[in-house]
Structure 1
Amino acid sequence: MLSRKLIALDLDGTTLNEASQISERTRQVLQAADAAGHIVTIATGRPNAASVHYYDDLGLSTPMVNFNGALVHMPHQHWAGEYERRLPQQAVGEILAMRDRYHIGLVAAEGKNMMLVDTEDPTLLDSMPISVHESLPLSAATLPATPISLMVVIPTQAGVDMAAEIMADFPSVNVNTWGGPENRDLSVLEIIHAGVEKTTGINYLAERYHIPHEDIMAFGDQFNDLDMLRHAGWGVAMANGTDAVKAVANDVTPLTNEEDGMANYLADYLHLHVDALLAQKNA
């Protein structure tokens, strides 16, 4: 009999298909895993507001990891185990002040229930993962709370320079970089507290649920999943994942996210009798 697993799931490129949707097969397999007693948790770089609808779609009642490990919480309820790692306040003010020296198109200050945006190019709002209803000048003085994350949309070369300056001047923060909106020479910088990765949140949950390291499973496809897959008891890269992710994983799914690769791998690995488990759960 298989031991109880903590199953950590990246969203984009892993749990979600190319239309950013959860397929019926994926939903059924994850609900069957839950019914079998395993702990299914979303571990994403997305903020709470851009991921909680997937959590609800799956019918989860377990904690969720957001901001690449900087927030662990139980959506829709108070949970005594909740934690968040906010950015150092001084660093936030000084990073926001850099806007005058770089051609920044958009800055977003994000927290569990906060999304404040300052943009000179309203068209960039279309690339945000959630709807933003308010845009205002951001500074240390206008922020109602210290954010968990700052997101900067910036021309690619300026982004390289800004990321290097931030990393040199603020050892207390970390900068992740990825491509911006398609067909535009832009990059996205995500700035969070140094030393925080998805593994941080997953290991915290493993301790809370008394899950030994060897029973932690993790699925991912991109650079921000590297640490999670490397340190999980069983790390699985998606067939559509990067070569770097595949290189550190214990295994690779035969199928892509568009083909329910994670769900089919999990059903086989856990020997899930999906229909029977769902019938038992709904009885």
Structure 2
Amino acid sequence: MKIKAICSDIDGTLLNSERDLSPRLKSVLSQFPEETPIILASSRMPDAMRHLLRDLNRPSEPLIAYNGGFVINKSGEVMDSVEIPLSLVAGIWELTRKTELHVSLYHGENWYEPKEDYWSKREIQNTKVNPTWMAGDKVLDRWAKENLGAHKVMVMGDSNEISWLFGELNLAYSSELHLYRSKDTYIEIAPRKISKATALKLVLETHYDFGMEDVIAFGDNYNDIDLIQSVGWGVAVANARPEVKAVAKEITLHHKEDGVAATLERMRAEGRKLKSES
């Protein structure tokens, strides 16, 4: 396969044990020509992705944020924006009101946190982004006045309470929302009609002269399944969920062992070998 684009999830896939890009990964990615786009596709907000592109010396690549709900082209313009309606956000908020669960709200370039605690500090450290400190009620009031919804809602807390909430949300909103537990202590919530795969397809159709069959994609979690199934070469890291491995064409090393770099190094070596034989 000739790689014309690289698309990768971030957390649990691209980043190493220190939640950073390894020197090995940066080295192999630097060997791909500029006309081969490196497209990050994540549940993260845009600013939690841009610093990674800067580290790769690729600051002007497209971004697929919020699992495909907010897509930005290489010129920095918003190509697509799909929100969770405010009525559903309010319903989620109401369910968590009498719990100890921590709720983070996201819209576009903005991340709202109700208070500084273990969960917010952890996200700040992991993403290298600082939130706007604002109580959830006030965020919902602001969004009501501005006719906005959420691109993502993230709920964090005790695994038992998370399990309870996941069940309640499935009963109430499974036809309208994507609900997935990225960890036992997390629920990430996005609009039902979006995915990383649909966002990547939009980016390619709008800006490039090739299709999904020419893309290699990497992932580890439930929100990567559609992406890995839709591209020419879908790769699961060794730490991926069993459901992700089941649809992948290749299973590479663990993300802590530079699985993405290992596959790209092999494919580049195979490409050079083919050229020398022709």
Q: 1:173 aligns with which of 167, 171, 177?
A: 177
Distance 2:33 2:85 in 1: 37
What are the ranges of 5 or more consecutive residues in structure 2 without an aligned counterpart? Answer: 273-278
Q: Alpha-carbon deviation of 1:4?
A: 5.4
Provide the rounded CA distance (Å) in 2 between the counterparts of 1:31 and 1:25: 10
Q: 1:164 Cα shift?
A: 2.6
Residues 157-179 of structure 1: per-residue CA shift (max 9 Å, x gap): 33223223223323322211132
Listed as ranges, the gaps of 5+ residues in structure 1 are 181-186, 274-283
CA distance in 1, matches of 2:51, 2:57: 10
Cα displacement (A) at 1:57:
0.7
Q: Is the 8 A contact 1:110 1:149 kept in 2?
A: yes
SS at match of 1:50: helix
| Residue pairs, 1:12-161, within 5 angstroms | 12-35=11-34, 37-60=35-58, 61-74=60-73, 77-79=75-77, 82-101=79-98, 103-119=99-115, 122-128=117-123, 129-130=126-127, 131-132=129-130, 134-139=132-137, 140-143=140-143, 145-161=148-164
Where 2:178 maps in the other structure, the secondary structure is strand
CA distance in structure 2 between the partners assigned to 1:196 and 1:134 by the alignment: 26
For 1:29 and 1:38, the matched residues in 2 are separated by: 13
Q: Could you say what secondary structure the match of 1:174 adopts?
A: strand
Distance (whole Å) between structure 1 residues aligned to residue 51 and residue 232 of structure 2: 28
Structure 1 length-normalised TM: 0.82
Amino acid corresponding to residue 83 of structure 1 in structure 2: D
* Cα deviation 1:58-85 (Å, max 9, x = unaligned): 122220111111111147x542x62121
Give, in whole Å, the separation in 1 of the partners of 2:62 and 2:52: 13
In 2, the alpha carbon distance for the partners of 1:210 and 1:165 equals: 44
Residue matched to 2:275: none
CA distance in 1 between partners of 2:3 and 2:219 (Å): 20
Matches of 2:51 and 2:107, distance apart in 1 = 17
Q: Does the 8 Å CA contact 1:236/1:249 hold for their aligned counterparts?
A: yes
- Give aligned pairs, total: 260
Q: Distance in 1 between matches of 2:10 and 2:142?
A: 32
AA in 2 matched with 1:125: S
Q: Which amino acid aligns with 2:38?
A: V
SS in 2 for 1:211: coil
Displacement of 1:234: 0.9
CA–CA distance in structure 1, aligned partners of residues 12 and 119 of structure 2: 22
8 Å CA contact retained: 1:118, 1:137? yes
Report the identity percentage: 25
Deviations 1:113-151 (A, max 9, x none): 1111124x7222222134545432212214464221111
Residue in 2 that maps onto 1:218: 217
Which letter maps to 1:95? I
Q: Which amino acid aligns with 1:204?
A: L
Could you tell me whether the CA contact under 8 Å between 2:53 and 2:61 is conserved in 1?
Answer: no
Please state whether the residue corresponding to 1:246 is helix, strand or coil. helix
Higher relative contact order (CA 8 A, sep 6+): 1
Letter in 2 for 1:114: N
Task: Tell me the TM-score normalized by structure 2.
Answer: 0.83
SS in 2 for 1:151: strand
1:237 maps to a residue whose letter is: A
The DSSP-based 3-state class of the residue aligned with 1:14 is coil
Q: Deviations over 1:88-133 (max 9, x none)?
A: 12111222222334x13311111221111124x7222222134545
Q: Does the CA contact (< 8 Å) of 2:178 and 2:192 recur in 1? A: yes
Q: What's the CA shift for 1:270?
A: 3.6
Counterparts of 2:220 and 2:94, CA distance in 1:
34
